[in-house]
Amino acid sequence: MGNVIKKRRKKMRKHKKKKLLKRSRHKRKR
């Protein structure tokens, strides 16, 4: 059970990073 939670946390971290990258790209275009 513990390993599953750790894997989920890693996936969520990657997702947040992708969202931040997309936001920074929009700011650069403007």
Question: Dmax of the chain from CA atoms?
Answer: 45
End-to-end CA distance of the chain: 45
Instruction: Residue 23: count other Cβ atoms within 10 Å of its Cβ.
Output: 9
Which pLDDT score, from 0 to 100, does residue 4 have? Answer: 72
Identify residue 9 by its one-letter amino acid code. Answer: R
Token pair 């990258």 is found at 21
At a CB cut-off of 8 Å and minimum separation 6, what does 10 contact?
Answer: none
1-30 per-position pLDDT tens digit = 567 767 777 666 666 666 666 666 666 666
